[in-house]
Amino acid sequence: MTAATTPVSSGEFSPPSWILLNMYAQVGENSNETTAHCEVGNDLKIYASLVRECPPLPSNLYVYCSGATFAEPPSSLSMVDDLILFHVYIGSPFRARSALPSYFFVYRADPKRPSLKLLPGPQGPVRKYHPLSIFPRGKDHYTIASLIPLQCEDNLFSLRLYDSETNTWSIKKLSIESPQNDFPVAIPAKFCPLFSHQTSTVLTHGKTIGWIDLWRGILFSDMLSEKHTLRGVPLPLPFWCIEGDFDLGSPRTHRGIAFTDGHLRLVEVVLKVDCSVPYVYDEEAERPCPRIENWTITTWTNKEMSNSYDDWHINCTLQASDIFLGDHSESELPATALQNLFVSDPIIGQNKNDSHVIYLTAREKLMRPKSWILAIDTKDRKVQSVAVRPGPLPREMRFIDTNYCTCSISN
């Protein structure tokens, strides 16, 4: 899923100001006022529609191709306001992806003027796993940007830009002109990935895009400047991982970030595994699973956004065993006790009125197909709301590093 602000809704309920968008689109038709289509070669047409729901319910992108099949479910890569960037492979799921036609689309889900555009092939290799973001420019135009590290060249990056006005791609080489401060502690060699920037999500704020390495820091670039440069803003180090000598793993399983109410906000969820008992094979998960003893949510805020670690201040630290279930019936919640759930993929509420609410994907065991979305009120220390994901997770969604795609937020 991706979290994004959205100005409209489809349906008769009040328009949600932001949504949780499933990473993988639903394959099929769902015609509504947001439906748009465009032609692809060989007389093929692609249709796209958006069905919005208020969080914690997930919203869904529907994609359909007349006369062809998808090799895998189309994937949403970025969403800002009513613009969604998504990718499709057309062809047999049994063929190598490199041998299949690969397409990027920009879909405008505005019910007053829905549209779908096939992007031209980019210069150089731009893949769906590269960190891509949409930067709106006025009412009609936008830029798509991807920042890719240059191999064997420290602190140098290739910036790939698509301009909707000219319908062309361009490439620029960028360096970090204002780097983040040095680490405040010595970093063991085991954690060498912390020494280089590996983008795990992207944030759009004002006139800038921030490419975020959730373990390390952010690289901001002013997208309205004629000369693009990069400046670094550090993120709090994962001391629980370093001091406990754990592998870093996927950052988006543990961390989420947003810009709300004039502050940069970071959330981290850490699981405490019961090491006194061995992993037990779980038939639903199809793998050995640990027993979760407890988990902790920590949130930070940063108003200055300079290159200093001192700008970050802890807001709260909350253990699952201290969270009240509230008025939810047993049928809404997993049978497993709250503190024993496997939780991941934290998302911060996108409005100033709910920036203290953290949305988590919860499963009774690691990689089980059934999941819930929990909204945790960190101020009142309670479960605010619960949503059961309709149907099991697709297999490809269970075995990737995260359930969420690029998180891009427009303010």
- Is the pLDDT at 6 greater than 70, yes or no? no
Tokens of 216: 């390390």
Residues 170, 35: Cα–Cα separation, whole Å: 30
* Cα–Cα separations (whole angstroms), residue 196 to 67, 172, 193, 213, 217: 45, 20, 6, 9, 10
Least confident interval from 230-239, 254-263, 394-403: 394-403
Give how far the C-alpha of residue 42 lies from the chain's centroid of Cα atoms, to the nearest Å: 33
Residues 161, 173: Cα–Cα separation, whole Å: 11
Residue that wins the pLDDT comparison between 326 and 212: 212
- Residues 119-130 have pLDDT tens digits of 998 766 666 667
Q: Who's near 291: CB < 8 A, 6+ residues apart?
A: 273, 274, 277, 280, 340
pLDDT above 90 as % of the chain: 50
How would residue 270 be classed by pLDDT, with cut points 50, 70 and 90?
very high
Residues 186, 52: Cα–Cα separation, whole Å: 46
- Do 300 and 266 meet the contact criterion of CB atoms below 8 Å apart? yes
How would residue 317 be classed by pLDDT, with cut points 50, 70 and 90?
very high
- Is the pLDDT at 87 greater than 60, yes or no? yes
Residues 275, 117: Cα–Cα separation, whole Å: 51
**What pLDDT is recorded for position 369?**
81
- Residues 22-48 have pLDDT tens digits of 888 999 999 999 999 999 877 889 999
DSSP 191: G
Taking alpha carbons only, the member of 106, 68, 100 closest to residue 86 is 106
Residues 73, 156: Cα–Cα separation, whole Å: 34
- Do 5 and 409 meet the contact criterion of CB atoms below 8 Å apart? yes
Q: Is 251 exposed, middle or buried (0-12, 13-18, 19+ CB in 10 A)?
A: buried
Tokens of 346: 């934290």
- Is the pLDDT at 189 greater than 50, yes or no? yes
Residues 255, 146: Cα–Cα separation, whole Å: 21
Mean pLDDT of the residues in the chain: 86
Round the CA-based radius of gyration of the chain to a whole number and report it.
21
- Is the pLDDT at 3 greater than 80, yes or no? no
Residues 63, 94: Cα–Cα separation, whole Å: 20
- Is the pLDDT at 377 greater than 90, yes or no? yes
**What pLDDT is recorded for position 395?**
58
- Residues 64-80 have pLDDT tens digits of 998 888 988 898 989 98
Write down the H helix ranges in 3-129: none
Output the pTM of the full model.
0.90
Tokens of 61: 């992108």
- Give the other-Cβ count within 10 Å of 257's Cβ: 27
How would residue 226 be classed by pLDDT, with cut points 50, 70 and 90?
confident
Residues 399, 411: Cα–Cα separation, whole Å: 32
Taking alpha carbons only, the member of 269, 281, 251 closest to residue 365 is 281
**Amino acid at the residue 339:** Q
- Residues 13-22 have pLDDT tens digits of 466 788 888 8
**What pLDDT is recorded for position 93?**
87
Mean pLDDT, residues 390-402 taken together: 53
3-state secondary structure of 279: coil
How would residue 405 be classed by pLDDT, with cut points 50, 70 and 90?
very low
Q: DSSP string covering 288-347, please?
A: EEPPEEEEEEEEEEESS-SS-GGG-EEEEEEEGGG-B-TT--TTTS-SS-GGGSEEEEEE
Strand 26-27 with 58-66, pairing: parallel
Q: Is 147 exposed, middle or buried (0-12, 13-18, 19+ CB in 10 A)?
A: buried
- Residues 329-366 have pLDDT tens digits of 666 788 889 999 999 999 999 887 888 999 999 999 98
Map tokens 């805020």 to a residue. 301
- Give the other-Cβ count within 10 Å of 162's Cβ: 24
**What pLDDT is recorded for position 404?**
47
In the sheet with 75-80, reading across from the earlier edge strand, the strands are: 75-80, 83-89, 102-108, 115-118
